[in-house]
Structures are given as structure tokens and as C-alpha cells.
Amino acid sequence: MDHLEQTCASLRAQIAATETDLAKLKRELQEAEAAASAAKAPNGINGEPKKENRKRTWPLLAEEYRRYGRQMIVPQLGLQGQLRLRSSKVLIVGAGGLGCPSALYLAGAGVGTLGMVDGDTVESSNLHRQVLHRTRNVGKFKVDSAIEYLQELNPHTSYVPHRSHLSPQEAPEIFKDYDLILDCTDNPATRYLISDTAVALGKPLVSASALRTEGQLMVLNNPPRPAGDKTGGPCYRCVFPKPPPANSVTSCADGGILGPVVGTMGVLQALEAIKVITSPTSGLNDGPGDPPALHIFSAYSSPPFRTIRLRTRRPTCAACSASPSVTLDTIKSGSIDYIFFCGAANPEALLSPNERISPLEYRRRHPAMPSKILAPETGSRHTLIDVRDKAQFDICNLENSINIPISTILGSSAARATKGVNGDSEDNLPAWVPAEIASPESRDPIYVVCRLGNDSQVAVKKLKELGLDRDGERYVGDIQGGLHAWRGQVDPEFPEY
């Protein structure tokens, strides 16, 4: 099966490469035919060409005038701007929610060469926001799926697929052939790698991000002056010298995303890229560029946009200062561990093995599922707490589980449950604690579940801080792997989202 999948992937790659070559040949043929037509001007008397019939050679093909006419009549672009677009080479890193709309509008605008870097394949969960991919392309490399669509949109552009995840060793070799870079990725480690490489090679960078209903946009290293030149634009390290804590980074898979939000940010990236390419006073044309700024979009705010002015290059920046520690050599050598710099790639295990239980073991202990039942082996009742937010809980949940979002749990104080002088429970527990588990007489086990088994560990620690484990007399633990593992081990029909 693996051999057949590799064969299919290889054939898809060959087809995409052939289609790119074909588009290039068609364009060359059009140019050759136009030149031949101009050379065949009809002759007048004595073999002298008729001046009134002599054809003029225009810088664009007739079809390109028709295709791009509506944008060329915009004063800020004009014919010269269109010619700059036609000669430009743009690299998009990431063919997902940001990369798809960016590529769509850059190809439509007539960028000469468009490269795309992505090692992922299309999944059905991508389709609500990654607008270049189609249902029939599920399982196909994202770059091949995207280029298939873009070639139908505009055959005049040359498309270059890079079917791999960006690595420090490969990034400089890929970047060197392009004029402008678009960061359309979704993790801090890759963002720092892209920015460092762009600075080292003197490439302007358009960076964006999106999560839930909000997005951010910056144009960095614009203009792309050498390291130490104070007139150059700031880089990603200038804005964020230190990465965010690893446990504070939320992906779209965990936090969710609205398609139009990430689409808005991708379209704005394309717009900024066009401005950098076509403006005679910025970016590729060695001008001063626009003042650096961070643009923030919030779909449910009014107004939805606000802008924060950014400072120029930091004198102590590790990448673009006069004495950089991040150079092309350090990037190529792999001496910079971007994963380590940004924190652990995987969530830390907060609980010991005896504080965790597999979905299969939970099912064996409590086969009837309701949260208040008599367990056949232990003779005890139990409580199951789901710590996902309400929106996720409403999508699907285990029968009779109690929804207490992790944000509610973490927002409370850590007061412990104690007994008063009459043996009654002191009223010092947070209001979200259910009465049945707050009772000092209760020793029923408490299980916590979340989507992937990460937040549930944090919740268990919090419950124990509150003293709900009765100093070890009551079992408080989580279901390891969360609902994702539940689907794989217990109920294959449980919804996956």
C-alpha cells in the first residue's frame, strides 16, 4: 500500500511539473507568434514598408491587456506596476488558510513566478477555509492541489511547487530565487526561521496570522537593508525578541478558526505584496517603504481594524543588528534549534501514570456510561467532567458528562475544601464545583476529559489543589488522549472535528 501511495504521489508531482512547463511553453509561443506577426508587416511600393501599417510591439500580450486592464487603470498601479508584477518572483510558505487566498489573488494579478512551500496533504477539515483545495483532491499534496487550481485561473504565471516542510538547511536555497516572501504558516518556530532567512538574503517579508475571529498582519524587512543598516525595516525578532510560552500557543485545530477571518488576512497579504512589488518607493524598488506597523483585525469588533505603529530595527536584534548572531551560515548549518528556541513541540506530561486512565479502562470500569452509576468492580459511583468550552461540548459529548470549561477552572482561586467546627464543608470552594463532589463525605472518583488529553491534565492538577482528592483518599485523574483516543479505542462513530 505504501508503495502504491508513493507511486501516486510521484505521478501527481510529474503531472504538476509537466503542467507548469506546458503553461510556460504556451506563453513563449504567444510571445513568438506576436513577434512573428509584427515582423510580417505588409510592404508598400518598391518594397518599402508602409508606415501607416507598421505594427507596434507592445510590452504585454494582447490577452494580458484584456486580462489585467481593470487593475492597470488604477493610478497606483499602471502599466509599469503591471510590468513589475510580471517580472516578480514570489514565494508563499504554507498552502493553507492564509496561503490559498494569497496565492489566488497574486496569480490573478499576474505575478510572473509563484512558488509554494508545503509538505502537508489536503484533508477534509481544510476545505471550509483553504479555498484552492477541492473535495476530489483530499489526500493530494497541498501545493499540487493549489497549483492545479491556479493554472486554470492564470496560465501566464509560472508555478513552482516545493513539496516539503521548510527546514533550516533548505530554506536559504529555496528563498534565494525569489524577490518577496509570504509567511502563511501557523507556528512560531517556522515564523522565526522564515524571518531569519529573509533577513539574511535581503528579502522583504509579508507575515500574517489568524485564530478564531482575529488576525494580525505585518510587512517586515521592508526595505531589505543589510544587517546593521538602521534604515532597513524591522524583522520578526525585532517585534518579538522572545517567543511566546509554548503552552500559550493555540493552533487552529485546538482554538478554531472562521474561514472568512483567515481569508481576510490572506487577501491582505496579497495586497501588501502587490504594494511592495509595484510601488516605486518601497521594497523591491529600493525605496524607504511604508512605516512599519502591526495591523490587527477582529471580526466581532467595531471597527474591525486597528493599527499599531512599530519601532524600527532593534539595535540588539539577533538577526538584523550590526552584530547579528543569526546569519546565513548559522541557519544553513542547523546550529539554531528553532523548536527548542520556541519551547517543547509536544505538551508536557503533568500527571503520573497512576493519575491517568485509558478510555478502554474507563469503559471497563464504568460500562453503562452515566456519571452516577454503581461500578461493577469497585462498588463506587463516579463523576465525569468535560473541560472543553461550551461550543465544543455542544458539538458532541459523552453521555451525562458535566461541562466545566477549563477557562472557568483556571479562573478560580485555589482555596481548599475544609471542614468547619460542626463537621460541615466550609463554603470556600469556587462556585463551579458541583455540590455532589464538594461534599466532604464524598469519595466517588472524579474523571476529567478534554479533546486531546492536555487540558484535562491541567484540570486534574487544579482539582487536587482545591483538595477534592481528600488527601489521596479519592481518585482524581484524566482520560488519557481525550475524546480523540475515545473515538479510536471505544466508539469509532464518535464525531471527529
> Does 450 participate in catalysis according to the annotation?
yes
Q: By the 8 A CB rule, do 218 and 293 touch?
A: yes
Ligand-binding site membership of 56 (annotated)? no
Ligand-binding site membership of 144 (annotated)? no
Beta-carbon-side half-sphere exposure of residue 492 (alpha carbons within 13 Å): 0
Ligand-binding site membership of 129 (annotated)? yes
Ligand-binding site membership of 137 (annotated)? no
Ligand-binding site membership of 422 (annotated)? no
- 137-147 per-residue burial string, b: 16 or more CB within 10 A, e: under 16: beebbbbbbbb
Ligand-binding site membership of 320 (annotated)? yes
Q: Which one of the listed residues 8, 100, 252, 396 is annotated catalytic?
A: 252
Determine the Cα–Cα distance for residues 225 and 85; give it in Å rounded to an integer: 21
> Does 100 participate in catalysis according to the annotation?
no
Residue type present at position 343: G
- CA distance from start to end of the chain: 27
Ligand-binding site membership of 221 (annotated)? no
Helix then strand then coil, % of the chain, to nearest 5: 40, 15, 45
Ligand-binding site membership of 118 (annotated)? yes
Max Cα separation, the chain? Answer: 124
User: Residue 189 phi/psi, 5° resolution?
Assistant: -60, -45
Ligand-binding site membership of 100 (annotated)? no
What own/partner pairs with CB < 8 Å and gap ≥ 24 does 163-170 have? 163/13, 163/118, 163/119, 164/117, 164/119, 165/118, 165/119, 165/120, 166/93, 166/117, 166/190, 166/193, 166/194, 168/193, 168/331, 168/332, 168/334, 168/336, 168/338, 169/332, 169/334
Ligand-binding site membership of 142 (annotated)? yes
Q: Which one of the listed residues 100, 184, 342, 450 is annotated catalytic?
A: 450
C-alpha cell at 280: 516605486
Going by the annotation, the residues of the binding site for Zn(2+) are 235, 238, 317, 320
> Which positions make up the binding site?
97, 118, 125-129, 142, 186-187, 235, 238, 317, 320
Residue positions forming the annotated binding site for ATP:
97, 118, 125-129, 142, 186-187
Catalytically annotated residues = 252, 450
